[in-house]
Amino acid sequence: MRWLTSLAVWAVAAGLARAAVPEALSEAFVDGETLTAKFGGTTVRDGSTISAESVSSSPLLALNSPKSRIPANTLYTVILVDITNSRDPSTESTLHYAASNLRVTSSSGSDLVSGTVDFPYAPPASSFNNANYVFLVYSQSNKIEGLQGLPNGSTTFSINTFRQSNQLQLADTGLGYTVSERASYKIITQRFTFPNTTTTSASSVPPTTSNSPSPTQPPPEPITSYFTLPNGGMTRTVIYTQPNEPGSTVAAPPPSSSTPANPSVITGNGNAAPQNAPSRSVAALVGLGIVFFAFV
């Protein structure tokens, strides 16, 4: 029973390692061989999720085989297919890249170099979301003079037909990845405290050069009193504005003045005795009363 458990664990681990590549395309993968693709500054491994913008340039591929040595002078063919919504990826896919006669410079693996690009790289369309792509690597039995079975004006590509046309066995290794719009979203977080305790230094505030109100904030209306008085068969309206109210044209005595108010200014009576200035409200009532009696 123990060996059955170990076999089950190994099978699950192998399935997880090949999760991004369908079983129909990965059934003959060589144990330990891995493929890495690099698009400009973006490195893609099996199971990656990336944005369409990050894979817009032609790929640079690297084959690694740390468990087994790669025979000298082995040539490889690599294809890249889109298998999104494919019912059978081995017969229904869209070709995006194909190169032949690639080789590694080390028996343990290296970049795949010195090959021929038979089908130039076609980047994924940015309008498609959650598209699934698969790279597949095939070892060649001999040098290929131009790959056969490439699409010519057709969007449908059959991997099985392609293999048979070029005498290729099942793929040695590969990698699968997903192109998603969400991979291009960036969440920017900013640390802050609540409530906001940010203060502004007084030295950073420009000095005020004018006491006039802001053009966007008009002054409030002055406090006024309205009386309509009869005068010889006619009516006359008297408007009284309290001194020094916002918008008033009547100025009060300066604060530093100690001269008492002179009632003769209002009554015309030069013999009126000086007295302390009443409050603004009392002065307003007195003034209105005198004006009223003057018109009666």
Least confident span in 1-5, 41-45, 174-178, 209-213: 1-5
Give 204-237 pLDDT, tens digit per residue: 445 454 455 555 565 555 555 544 555 455 555 5
Cα gap 17→35, rounded to integer Å: 12
Q: How confident is the model at residue 291 (pLDDT cuts 50, 70, 90)?
A: low
Q: How confident is the model at residue 21 (pLDDT cuts 50, 70, 90)?
A: very high
Comparing 283 with 10, the larger pLDDT belongs to 283
Comparing 79 with 249, the larger pLDDT belongs to 79
Q: If you average pLDDT over residues 16-24, what whole number do you get?
A: 69
> Does residue 77 contact residue 99 with C-beta atoms inside 8 Å?
yes
- One DSSP character per residue, 32-79 reads T-EEEEEETTEEE-TTEEE-SGGG-SPEEEEEE-SSSPPPTT-EEEEE
Backbone φ, ψ for residue 294 (5° rounding): -70, -30
- What confidence score (pLDDT) does residue 279 get? 53
- What confidence score (pLDDT) does residue 252 get? 53
Q: How confident is the model at residue 245 (pLDDT cuts 50, 70, 90)?
A: low
**Residue 139: Cβ-neighbour burial (10 angstroms; 0-12, 13-18, 19+):** middle
Q: What average pLDDT is seen over the chain? A: 73
Cα gap 137→76, rounded to integer Å: 7
Where do the domains of the chain lie, and which CATH numbers do they carry? 20-184 (3.90.280.10), 224-252+264-295 (no CATH)
- pLDDT at position 50 over 70: yes
* Percent of the chain surpassing pLDDT 70: 54
Strands 34-39 and 42-44, bridge-based pairing: antiparallel
The token pair that represents 134 in the structure block: 């698969």
Least confident span in 45-49, 107-111, 137-141: 107-111
- What confidence score (pLDDT) does residue 222 get? 53
Q: Which amino acid is at 56?
A: S
Comparing 140 with 196, the larger pLDDT belongs to 140
Strands 234-241 and 75-82, bridge-based pairing: unpaired
Cα gap 98→159, rounded to integer Å: 12
Q: If you average pLDDT over residues 99-115, what whole number do you get?
A: 91
Q: How confident is the model at residue 282 (pLDDT cuts 50, 70, 90)?
A: low
265: enclosing H helix or E strand: helix 264-267
- pLDDT at position 92 over 50: yes
The token pair that represents 58 in the structure block: 């032609």
**Helix, strand, or coil here: 228?**
strand
Distances (CA, A) of 47 to 102, 134, 135, 171: 24, 10, 12, 18
**Ranked by mean pLDDT, which of 24-28, 124-128, 129-133 comes out on top?**
24-28
Length of the chain: 296
- Using the structure block, give the residue that is written with the tokens 């640079």: 60
- What confidence score (pLDDT) does residue 103 get? 94
- What confidence score (pLDDT) does residue 10 get? 38
* Percent of the chain surpassing pLDDT 90: 44
Cα gap 61→175, rounded to integer Å: 11
Q: If you average pLDDT over residues 22-29, what whole number do you get?
A: 94
- What confidence score (pLDDT) does residue 159 get? 97
